[in-house]
Amino acid sequence: MFKLPTCPHCNSVYYYKDIKKALKQKENTCNHCKKKFFATNKAGKAIIITADIIIILPLDYFLFSIIPNGPLIPVFIITILLISVSFLLFPFTAKFKKSST
């Protein structure tokens, strides 16, 4: 699951920043074999966002319950940090698929 995607035609390995770029474009041309493919990470995004909710909600609840008088700012910072980290994982869940055109 958390594996960088490869070109569906020639299996070339793509780097993190290239995957981010590929996800922004509708169609991509492989740098190596010049064949077209498209990048998607819809399924991966859904899994990560679900995991975020499963992890963050109980964690926030736990932090509020152990520290009375609501430590709003630290909880807010932890929540934002966890969400940011999970967003960084998006390219790892990307899939490259052969373009039909």
Longest dimension (CA), the chain: 60
**How far apart are alpha carbons 1 and 30 in whole angstroms?**
22
Instruction: Select from 3-11, 43-51, 58-66, 69-77 the region that touches Zn ion (CB under 5 A).
Output: 3-11
Residues numbered 57 to 86 that lie near Zn ion (CB under 5 A) are none
Contact pattern for Zn ion over residues 18 through 57, marking x by CB under 5 A: ------------x-xx------------------------
Q: How many residues bind Zn ion (CB under 5 A)?
A: 7
From the CB of 72, what's the least distance to Zn ion, in Å?
A: 49
Contacts of 23 (CB under 8 A, 6+ apart): 39, 40, 41, 90, 91, 94
Which lies closer to Zn ion via its Cβ, residue 22 or residue 30? 30
Task: Outline where the chain has alpha helix (H).
Answer: 16-24, 42-66, 72-88
Which residues of this chain interact with Zn ion, rule CB under 5 A?
A: 7, 9-10, 12, 30, 32-33
